[in-house]
Amino acid sequence: MEIQLWREILDPYALAVDELIVKFNHIIREYRHLYGYSPIEQVTGRVKTISSILEKAQKKNIPLEQIEDKIDDIAGIRIICQFVEDIYKVADIIRNRSDMIIKNEIDYIENMKKSGYRSYHITVFYDVETLKGTKRLQVEIQIRTLAMNFWATIEHSLQYKYKQNMPEHIRERLTSAAEAILILDREMSVIRDEIMDAQSSFTIKANMVADI
């Protein structure tokens, strides 16, 4: 496919990612102003690279004309939360919005992947306005804690380094690190109220200083 054609396909996805980052950042702002604490800690996003799209299409035997239908993470949003409870709150926020229509949800937290990967995935349909009219796109939203993100980021780089041949001793270490992450998230949840209280009074003080 020509580069010009790829641009035409991918530009609307870039718009979707940009818009969604603005919208989720606004949710953070509203929560912090209203309650001093936001269930979303930070949000990032990316459009999949052409080479990564082609690799996935090849792996899953997807013909080029079906990539937009069959690859649901061309646009990806990653939402990072402090606590596991916040992940389900964020999922609720998304379900209640009129600008994101849920296509499907996968709970890799309750059902951890064999690799040790944990995250909550929601695929939504999201409309963007282009010169050629409204385009409805799929966007994959990954919601995870800071700790889950730490594990997934490291595991992703190791997967990339070793491709299909990750040494067994590293795989085992990653599995036990995934267990440790699970315990860490549980421990943090136990003192969640304490932490939220502390952060909320910190935000209120910071806002007062900013208002002066």
DSSP 64: G
Looking only at the bridges linking them, the beta strands covering 42-47 and 75-81 are: antiparallel
Helix or strand or coil: residue 60?
Answer: coil
**What's the closest the beta carbon of residue 154 comes to ligand 0O2, in angstroms?**
8
Q: Nearest-5° angle of CA 85, CA 91, CA 95?
A: 145
* Footprint on residues 144-183 left by ligand 0O2 (CB under 6 A): 152, 155-156
Our CB check for ligand 0O2 shows the closer of 107 and 192 to be 107
Helix (H, G, I), strand (E, B) or coil at 61: coil
Cβ atoms of 103 and 123 closer than 8 Å: yes
CB 192, min distance to ligand 0O2, A: 25
Tokens standing for residue 166: 């990750």
Instruction: Kindly tell me which of 15 and 75 has the beta carbon lying closer to ligand 0O2.
Output: 75
Phi, psi of 48 (to 5 degrees): -60, 145
Instruction: Looking at residues 28 to 87 of the shown chain, list those that interact with ligand 0O2 (rule: CB under 6 A).
Output: 48, 52, 56, 73
Is 2 annotated in the active site? Answer: no
Which one of the listed residues 140, 155, 179, 187 is annotated catalytic?
140
Toward ligand 0O2, which CB reaches closer, 86 or 155? 155
Please list the active-site residues. 140
Which residues form the interface with ligand 0O2 (CB under 6 A)? 48, 52, 56, 73, 106, 113, 115, 117, 121, 152, 155-156
